[in-house]
Amino acid sequence: MVDTEDLAALAADLESFRVERKASFTSVKSEIEEAICAFANDLPGTGQPGYVLIGVTDKTGQPTGLAVTDELLRAITDIRSSGNILPFPVMNVRKASLQGRDVAVIEVHPSHEPPVRLRGRVCVRSGPRKGTATRDEERVLNERRRGWDGPFDQRPISGAALEELDLRFFEQDYLPNAIDAQALRENGRSLPEQLAALHLASPDGVPNVAGMLILGREPTTYLPGAYVQFLQIDGVELTDPIVDRKELTGSLPTVLRAMDEITSARIRVATTITGSTVERRSPDYPMDAMQQLLRNAVMHRNYETSNAPVQWYWFSDRIEIHNPGGLFGRATEASFGQPGGNDYRNPTVAGALHVLGFVQRFGLGVPLARKACRDNGNPEPEFTFGSSNFGVTVRARS
């Protein structure tokens, strides 16, 4: 992050194309998002961060005296987790002092996974020009991605072919949600180019891990652990009788819908009839909490080094979910479920599930599950952390 002297130089250099200055935040939030997206794409290939200075006039570089509160800093930081910019931008936000007045500084680092999109649009800036990337510019960004060692879910799958993906689903359902309508109407790209631009295939048109998980007809052909094992047990021990057993396979959207159906069918709502009065109590498990926890399990699990499935046990007194892969990146036991404490083992998969509406907002799954349990009268979920596995237990409402 820049120091005070560098900040003064950035604010004063009105010709620098690495700096955006905004007098306020709320009224120009969309422009700030565009600047973050453009700096993340780094079309000129400078390899240097870009800066958005909030509380600084664009014409003079002078501070405006904007009140930089904790609430404002949180609102700025939320741009990263809102899911409007994908893949997630690498950005730092802090309060700084310029000529004795507060300003908010956003430092945006070039992405290792270009092109980065804002609501489906690739924002770029090159010299004085700002706007949407042309087809040739987007190709440059795609080719640049080849040189980076990206996350596992970006790795092409050797031997896989586009015909193994549900391309009809991609064209009819995924594309309209991933790309804004105008850009889609003007789209002259081939299908392999579209998949590559959305990080679901390599620039050479080979499906990657994320593409196979989101669109693959049989992902377990290449990713043996990409399924969910469900057991319903009549008792409280694994050795008790099994009531139902299922293996949920197919693309992640297919698996997630199947998990919703299983959960909805098994949640029980007690009913008491007294005379002519029917009293319905809260369900034994809150649907919202189970959705959040199950989706987190398939989204954050380790697909790289484990062939074990996500294991989902429905006992008579509790539900347990176990998935391969311990905490990842900056996430720790202390920061888990706290603001800014999350990280993404499979960022492309997470972005795709957001596009499809399975994830509404990043980083809120655990807090939402905890709240849903409290509101329903259940004990809060119990999390267990291992070096190579992760688990959560939700106990039935008493």
First to last CA, the chain: 51
Same fold flag, 4-117 and 228-395: no
pLDDT by residue for the chain (398 residues), tens only, comes to 666 668 888 888 877 888 999 999 999 999 999 999 999 999 988 889 999 999 999 889 999 999 999 999 999 999 998 889 998 999 999 999 999 999 999 999 999 888 999 999 999 998 777 899 988 888 788 877 755 667 889 999 999 999 999 999 999 999 999 888 777 777 778 899 999 989 999 988 999 999 999 999 999 999 999 999 999 999 999 999 999 999 999 999 999 999 999 999 999 987 666 556 666 678 999 999 999 999 999 999 999 989 999 999 999 999 999 999 888 877 778 878 877 667 788 999 999 999 999 987 777 889 999 999 999 999 999 999 987 889 999 999 98
In three-state form (DSSP H/G/I as H, E/B as E, the rest C), the secondary structure along 264-325 is HHHCCEEEEEECCEEEEEEECCCHHHHHHHHHHHHHHCCCCCCCCCEEEEECCCEEEEEEEC
What is d(CA 190, CA 170) in angstroms, rounded to the nearest whole number? 13
Cβ atoms of 299 and 360 closer than 8 Å: no
Helix axes 287-300, 252-266, angle to 10 degrees: 150
pLDDT score recorded for residue 214: 98
pLDDT score recorded for residue 375: 94
pLDDT score recorded for residue 281: 73
Which sequence spans correspond to the domains of the chain?
A: 4-117, 151-219, 228-395
Q: What is the DSSP letter of 208?
A: B
Cβ atoms of 393 and 319 closer than 8 Å: yes
What is d(CA 328, CA 330) in angstroms, rounded to the nearest whole number? 6
Options 3.30.565.60, 3.20.20.30, 3.40.50.2000, 3.30.420.40; CATH for 228-395 is 3.30.565.60
- DSSP track, 90-159: EEEEEEEEETTEEEEEEEEEPPSSPPPEETTB-EEEETTEEEEPPHHHHHHHHHHHTTS---GGGSB-TT
User: CA 130, 135, 140, 141 torsion: positive or negative?
Assistant: positive
Domain 4-117: homologous superfamily in CATH: Schlafen, AAA domain (3.30.950.30)
